[in-house]
Amino acid sequence: MICKNAATSAMAVIAIWLFLSLFMSMLAGIIADAMFPVTDTWEGVLNASSNYSCQLALNRISPYYLYSEAAATIMNPNIRTINLISMESLSGAITGYLPFGQSLLLVWPHLAGMTALMTAAFAGSYVSFMRQEIRS
């Protein structure tokens, strides 16, 4: 049993939601800058793509970021990729809008991740509830 009171449980969930929606992007930026500092030196320039990739990976821990990125990709057919792109990858790309099915193919890992997070939270809640019911 994590929380004995329903009000404490509700406050904890609201605090987790606020952290993931407001502060996770700032924390991801701080961690990425500490791991791969971007400066005016040659090494800093080389760290720029690693910094962005690290920040993106840390942001994708948050369900809020996953949802916002997936919704933006599905709603805007101009978005062709959700990762870092280079000039080499753009050289053979065909211009135009992506159909809905292709947009879904871009964000299926996001949808699978959100479904897995929801299933894990439900399973944890169910197991906790059943243990409380057995003890009573």
* Closest-CA residue to 76 (of 68, 84, 86): 68
Over residues 71-88, the pLDDT tens digits come to 998 888 887 777 777 666
Residue 5 located in a structural domain: no
Q: What are phi and psi of 14, to 5 degrees?
A: -65, -40
Domains identified in the chain, total number: 2
pLDDT for the residue 82: 78
pLDDT for the residue 22: 86
| 26 band by pLDDT with thresholds 50, 70 and 90 | very high
Give, in order, the Cα–Cα distances in Å from 68 to each of 37, 72, 77, 81, 118.
27, 6, 15, 15, 16
Domain extent at residue 47: 23-59
Same domain, 81 and 118: yes
Q: How far apart are CA 81 and CA 119, in angstroms?
A: 27
Question: pTM higher than 0.85, yes or no?
Answer: no
